[in-house]
Structure 1
Amino acid sequence: MDRTARILQDLYDSEINFTIATFWHAGFQIKLGLGDEVNGFDATGTADNLVDAVEWLRVQAIKKYPESVFATNYRR
């Protein structure tokens, strides 16, 4: 599994919800949090490509959930 897929899987395994939505020529909209569409998200952002979107998720998950297993494993 490549790094991008591993980060997404590890977020999922850590029960940190995320959404990546695309619309051609408008980039990627990103949401992260323990919430959902009904309860809201803790962070939202945009990126120009998938790699940057996943990196944004990694950074925000570490920032928002510093005590999580995910943050412990991915902190640089």
Structure 2
Amino acid sequence: MTATLTDDEVGKTVVDAEGKELGIVAKVENGRASVDPNPSIAEQLLASLGVEGEDDEDYVVTEDMLDSVGEEIVLRGNL
């Protein structure tokens, strides 16, 4: 079963299979998350409040790249 991405994931930390922090979810749209690899404190605060936003340095994570979604989003190890 594939994990799904919803607006509830905005502000969550994204980590790789080894637990290395890769950034935070800035926006979710159509099963794709925009992940900010270097969020400012203001961006982290806004994301924690559920305010979506994205910028040029964000990268995209799709549902087929996910291992699990919980307190943090964990990517599969074989990407």
TM-score (norm 1): 0.30
Q: Which has the higher contact order (CA 8 A, sep 6+)?
A: 2
The TM-score, its normalising length taken from structure 2, stands at: 0.29
* Greater strand fraction, Structure 1 or Structure 2: 2
Bigger Cα Rg: 1
